[in-house]
Every structure is written in structure tokens, then in C-alpha cells.
Amino acid sequence: MNILTFRSQDELNKAGAGIITGLLQTNPKACLGLATGGTPVGIYRELVETCRQGLVSFSKASAFNLDEYVGLDRSHPASYYTFMQEHLFSHVDIAPERCHIPDGSAPDPEAECVRYDSLLEEIGQIDLQLLGLGHNGHIGFNEPDEELERGTHVVELQEQTRQANARFFDRPDQVPTHAITMGVGTILKAKTILLIVRGRDKAEIVKRALQGPITTECPASLLQTHPHVVVLLDSEAGSLLS
Ligand code: F6R
């Protein structure tokens, strides 16, 4: 695990975007596993700028997002579909048919999980999986539990997660109670994992995830078992690491 700590958000964003750009420059057909939330926004901004400058192209790449809320239509302003359009997809030259996000409005969410897994099966392996970190140690929406699921599944969101994400909705009670998420098996199968964490409020969970015991009660701790993990932290998120 390669842990890098940055003094400024700008340096962190440039480093994160640089890793993704480097991958696309050497492997234009790379399959990217992508995340939403506050953490990757600055990295997506850098990628959009790099693409505008003509230094990188997404035209042959494909993308699989980690998760989506159950019950939200794609057009909902807080859907992860909308998020990805706003922050990345509509600003770069990626082919829309190669941008995959679970459909949260599918009438049968379980069948949607099977469909998503079969698409993932077809590509075989994600080349680079971008991850943020939940305050409770979740990756994707794999919440702490006695057991974790390997493949895509429907998950009930913990109250802490719903509260943390309430900022993206008009009212806290509008945050959906369930989501569809890629499983930890798929995440850990990725060739390389790029974990990004920012802020003092994540320092405790960063310490637990990276230096604590490997346990399903902190899903991100399973990343310790992966051979190619790069962690980019701001100095606050990394402040408790020894
Ligand atoms: C989002 C996702 C989540 C977030 C995590 C951190 O697609 O899978 O695991 O990465 O909840 O969210 P932020 O970045 O908003 O703190």
C-alpha cells in the first residue's frame, strides 16, 4: 500500500488526476471504476481540464460506477447518474454507451444487480478503481457488517451514511434508505485501487482502515489485502497515521 499525504487539495487533485491520466495514456481502453460524493469532485475537475487541453482522451475507455440510490430516477438532481454527468461524463469525450451506473429506478433492483454483474463479468476486471471512504469505513456502499457481499447487491444504508449524504438533498428525509452497490469482491478484483480521503473528520477511520485489524466491520480495512493500492490523503485525513 502506497500512502501519499498532500499539504493542499490542489496537489492532491493533480496527483489523483495524474494517476488516471497516466493510465489512459498508456492504456486508452482502460476500464475505470468510478466514485461519487464530495471526495472525487476536484479530481474530476482536473481530468476535465486535462481532457480539454487534449492531453488525455476517454474515447476508448469505459467506466463503471460503484453505486446508485434505489428509487431515484436518473434525472433526479441527487442521483449518481446526474452527478457523473455534471462532474465528468458530459465534459469529456467518453462514449455514453460505455458509461455504466446501476439503474436505481429499475422495477426489480435485484435483477438490476444481476444485470450489472453480468456487464462487469464481460469486462473481466476493472483496471483502476477510484474509491472514497465513508465515516464508518464503507467503500462503495458496502456498509460494516458481519459478512460482506462479493457481487453487486441491494444494501440498506446506515443512518450515519444517510446523514452524511443529506447535504446533496433538499431535506434529510429525502435521502433514500437503500442503494445498489458493487460488492467488495468486484472492488478487490480491480488491478489497481486509488483511495482518496480528505478532512479531519475522516482521520479516525483512515487510521482504522489502513492500520487497524482487517475486519468486515470496517470494509475499507480489506484493502490491506490488495497488492496494488495507492492512497492519497490530505494532511488532516492522514493526521493520526503512525
Ligand atoms: C460514492 C461512494 C461512497 C463515498 C463515501 C465518501 O460513490 O461509493 O463510498 O465515496 O461515502 O463520500 P464523500 O466523498 O461524500 O465523503
On whether residue 211 sits in a domain, the answer given is no
ipTM of the complex: 0.99
CA–centroid distance, residue 95 to ligand 1 (Å): 24
pLDDT at 147: 97
- At 39-52, the pLDDT tens digits run 999 999 999 999 99
Q: Is 78 helix (H, G, I), strand (E, B) or coil?
A: coil
* 53: amino acid identity, one letter: Q
- At 177-219, the pLDDT tens digits run 999 999 999 999 999 999 999 999 999 999 999 999 999 999 9
Q: Is 184 helix (H, G, I), strand (E, B) or coil?
A: helix
Ligand 1 atom closest to Cα of 161?
A: 11
Residue 179 near residue 140, CB atoms below 8 Å = no
On whether residue 205 sits in a domain, the answer given is no
**Measured between alpha carbons, how far is 68 from 73 in angstroms, rounded to an integer?**
10
Hey, which residues are catalytic here? 67, 136, 138, 143
Percentage of the chain beyond pLDDT 90 is: 100
- At 79-109, the pLDDT tens digits run 999 999 999 999 999 999 999 999 999 999 9
Residue 68 near residue 155, CB atoms below 8 Å = no
Helix/strand number for the chain, H first, E second: 7, 10
Question: Band of the pLDDT at 68, cuts 50, 70, 90?
Answer: very high
CATH number where 164 lies: 3.40.50.1360
On whether residue 187 sits in a domain, the answer given is yes
Quote the domain boundaries for residue 125.
2-195
On whether residue 30 sits in a domain, the answer given is yes
On whether residue 66 sits in a domain, the answer given is yes
> Ligand 1, from 126, 131, 133, 169: best to mutate by most atoms within 8 Å of Cβ?
133
On whether residue 27 sits in a domain, the answer given is yes
Strand partners, 154: 180
From 112, 116, 141, select the one nearest 126 (Cα to Cα). Answer: 116
The domain tally of the chain equals: 1
